[in-house]
Amino acid sequence: MLKNITFSTDAKIINAARKKALNSNTSLNTLFNSWLTGIAKNENAHTELETFLEKVKYLSSGRNFTREEMNER
């Protein structure tokens, strides 16, 4: 079920967002829905990360790495 919500923001921001939507061949509504979905998913990602870190907290590399080792590519 779709719900309507109302937000207020500066007209310049709305116009810039509309231009971005137009350049992406989409609507401002679609961009907003994508943004809102990303926020909702991000909260789940945090919970999943916390669960994963709890499961692997017993793991250890056995030593501390130097700054140079951590920055090697």
**Residue pLDDT, tens place only, 3-52:** 888 888 888 998 999 999 999 999 999 998 888 888 777 767 777 778 88
Question: Total structural domains in the chain?
Answer: 1
Q: Give the separation between CA 49 and CA 45, rounded to whole angstroms.
A: 6
**Residue pLDDT, tens place only, 52-73:** 888 888 888 888 889 998 888 7
Residue 53 lies in a domain: yes
Residue 19 lies in a domain: no
Sole residue written with tokens 């990303």: 38
Residue 13 lies in a domain: no
Q: Is the Cβ–Cβ distance between 28 and 18 less than 8 Å?
A: yes
Residue 45 lies in a domain: yes
Q: Is the Cβ–Cβ distance between 62 and 48 less than 8 Å?
A: no
